[in-house]
Structure 1
Amino acid sequence: MKKRVKRVFSIHHWLGLLAGLFLLISSVTGSVLVFHHDIDHAQFAGLSTLAVPATELKIDSSIARILKAYPGSDVRVPELPKGQDQALKYEIRSTEGRKWVFVHPTTGETLATVARADKRLVHTLLDLHYNLLSGTPGKIGVLLGGLSLIVLSITGLLLYRKSIWKVLAFRQRVSFKSRRSFFSSLHRVIGVWSLAFNLFISITGTWIAFTIVQSALSPVSVSTVEGNAPTMVSVDSVLKQISKDYPEFEINYLRFAGGTLSALGRLKSDPSYYGVTFSNLQVDLSSGQVKGVNFVKDKPWHERLLLVFKPLHFGDYAGLPVKLIYCFFGTMPGVLAVSGFLVWRLRNRKPQERIVRRRLPLTPGDALKPISN
């Protein structure tokens, strides 16, 4: 092997061993998190489903009470009810954690609460995926892991570049001659087929991890709106006015902070990969006037590209077929980590096993024969 190839192989080899556990964790959690909305809905269907359908959505019937009950908290509506049988859900964020409050969309009556929504399955998987359950050090570790996957994808491309077309044409397949040849060929075949996806998911994920680390190292204080603000306008009236003035805008998410209502959503003409919450309108809660309009389509191309990295990374911007593709290929970094480790393990054990086999007697009678060198 040439020196350059040896150097590339050495980088791929040792970096893969060092980052292997991270790749396995991020691969498994990422594949599951493609269905994070579906998991949440299934887990809390009993709390979010109404026995009697609601007649209409009246946020005014509950918002003042919620703001008063949780002063100083970051109050959000993570999704508006999609059907008449679905409750209105508030998410209360504070230094103590997150709480969900389900209320009747029309009457505002509290139906159920989830005291520690930050301990639910999806949020735990998100924490594991984003920070390895280790806070800021874990976030930095995830960033380094994302960079590792980029380097591994590039070095893998350089090492297997002559095999790419053979693998894609099914002229090189998985070998079953031995355990080592099986895992080695499996590593090569999966690496080739998942190369483009691995590069795509690692680049988008690394950018997201960078923004998370940046926020963790330079936290911005979030101002909140108090529940006893006497000049707060009708939220329902504001939403109706938005629908009238911006008929193309679909509201999917509400946030109350600093005397401002942030209505997050998307334009009906937006491509699906723009996501459902990356365009927004900012409304002054004391006057009801729109003071900021931020649509993804109006941003420069480079800002637009960075904004869509998150929906593109998670794969939840489209229907079930796209989610299944993301879920399947999302497991590939984990499979590559395991197969690469086993190739290394079998290669390092083979010389020792050969010596042991040479010394072991083949039959009971052979044990009585003198050993000659």
Structure 2
Amino acid sequence: MHPQKVVRYIFWDDDEPNQVMMDVAPSMTAPPDSSKYVVLDERTGEILSRPVLNKGFMYIMLQLHTDMFAGIGGKLFLGLMGILFIIAIISGVMLYGPIMKKYDFGMIRSDKSRRLKWLDMHNLLGIVALAWTLVVGVTGVINTLHDVVLGLWQQGQLAEMVAPYKNAKPVTGKLSSLDEALKVSHNAAPEMKASLITFPGTIFSSKHHYAVFMKGQTPVTSRLLKPALVDAKTGVLTDLRTMPWYVNTLFLSQPLHFGDYGGMPLKIIWALFDIATIVILISGLYLWIARIKASKAQLARLEEKQTELA
């Protein structure tokens, strides 16, 4: 399938029943962009496809959106921009309230200057999209902390779960049955199902365990994962815990930010709000530039009058 490579992760997708995806890479610690992917029919083991997920237009757009190809530094920079975005929204609402006491809601002064028409459009779109922009802004900031949250989980809960193996040598040779790891994990959490398996030596496990990440079957719990650690030599379940609150907060923020929990209709709604937000941002920039020009023109007129009076 991929000679000289190792399987690191196995994924299941509810939208693709009876299929399983494998992440294979040169080593367990290889960078994410070195991964290759293989989709199998989990009933027959037949290879269905070899999707390329780390190339192409959508991959570039996703990376620009998440970290601008700058790693954790890019994510934290975008997080800072997200905080400024939230501040801009809140300050805009504070300015909008007193102004609209004088006018009807949704008013567009089409008979006035271009700047006033853009101002009214900016205010209208901003207040209509207020809840959405706040949700996307806040969840976007949370998502930029992905690497920080992962590090906290690794150093906190995961370290506690694998503490008994701290001084043990990494597993070598033949590993225990993967089917058995799935079975014992499901027996420990019968109301849940497997979403992801990570192999020993990956960043989501230890050098001694399979980590079977279980998820619930309701709209909310299907977004929350519970790691079950299974000894990769003996096949014995060694620990199963609910993720800390900060990890669950990250898990819940992801579908809210990307709008991927309601199928295509919700994605279309998210896209329309995206377009509205782009208009808000462009109009805000236009109004800012127009205000600077107007201020300079007014200052020039005042200076001209002072010169005439002198």
> Above 0.5 in TM-score?
yes
Does residue 155 (structure 1) correspond to residue 91 (structure 2)? The answer is yes
CA 277–213 in structure 1, closer or farther in 2 if over 3 Å, else same:
closer
Counterpart of 1:289 (choices 215, 236, 240) is: 236
Which residue number corresponds to residue 238 of structure 1? 181
CA contact (8 A) 1:142 1:209 kept: yes
Correspondence 1:60-209 to 2 at 5 A: 69-71=4-6, 75-80=8-13, 87-93=19-25, 94-95=30-31, 97-114=34-51, 117-163=53-99, 171-177=105-111, 178-209=113-144
Distance 1:148 1:328 in 2: 22
CA 303–77 in structure 1, closer or farther in 2 if over 3 Å, else same:
closer
Shift of 1:192: 1.1
Structure 1 unaligned residues grouped into runs of 5+:
1-64, 221-227, 355-373
Distance 2:19 2:263 in 1: 23
The Cα offsets for residues 215-261 of structure 1, whole Å up to 9 and x where unpaired, read as: 69xx99xxxxxxx9434122123323433442210222222233322
Shift of 1:152: 0.5
Distance 1:152 1:253 in 2: 39
Structure 2 unaligned residues grouped into runs of 5+:
156-170, 202-207, 299-310
Distance 1:125 1:294 in 2: 35
RCO higher in structure (CA 8 A, sep ≥6): 1
Aligned residues: 271
Does residue 267 (structure 1) correspond to residue 234 (structure 2)? The answer is no
The Cα offsets for residues 51-96 of structure 1, whole Å up to 9 and x where unpaired, read as: xxxxxxxxxxxxxx77x7414xx71123257666x64321235335
Deviates more, 1:143-152 or 1:95-104: 95-104
CA 274–310 in structure 1, closer or farther in 2 if over 3 Å, else same:
farther
What's the TM-score, normalizing by structure 2?
A: 0.71
Distance 1:199 1:150 in 2: 7
The Cα offsets for residues 337-371 of structure 1, whole Å up to 9 and x where unpaired, read as: 111112233445568999xxxxxxxxxxxxxxxxx
CA 316–146 in structure 1, closer or farther in 2 if over 3 Å, else same:
same
Does residue 338 (structure 1) correspond to residue 282 (structure 2)? The answer is yes
Distance 1:318 1:280 in 2: 25
CA 319–150 in structure 1, closer or farther in 2 if over 3 Å, else same:
same
Shift of 1:153: 1.2
CA 266–151 in structure 1, closer or farther in 2 if over 3 Å, else same:
same
Shift of 1:145: 0.6
CA 75–164 in structure 1, closer or farther in 2 if over 3 Å, else same:
farther
Distance 1:97 1:325 in 2: 34
CA contact (8 A) 1:274 1:308 kept: no
Distance 2:200 2:109 in 1: 59
Partner secondary structure for residue 59 of structure 2:
helix
CA contact (8 A) 2:135 2:256 kept: no
Shift of 1:146: 0.8
Partner secondary structure for residue 327 of structure 1:
helix
CA contact (8 A) 2:215 2:223 kept: yes
Distance 1:175 1:195 in 2: 21
RMSD over aligned Cα atoms: 3.7
Distance 1:214 1:295 in 2: 15
The Cα offsets for residues 291-345 of structure 1, whole Å up to 9 and x where unpaired, read as: 222335xx56x76445523333333233444434433334443221111112233
What's the TM-score, normalizing by structure 1?
A: 0.60
Shift of 1:141: 2.0
Which residue number corresponds to residue 253 of structure 2? 309
Which residue number corresponds to residue 280 of structure 1? 227
Distance 2:101 2:212 in 1: 49
Which residue number corresponds to residue 329 of structure 1? 273
Partner secondary structure for residue 117 of structure 1:
coil
CA 158–350 in structure 1, closer or farther in 2 if over 3 Å, else same:
closer
CA 174–102 in structure 1, closer or farther in 2 if over 3 Å, else same:
same
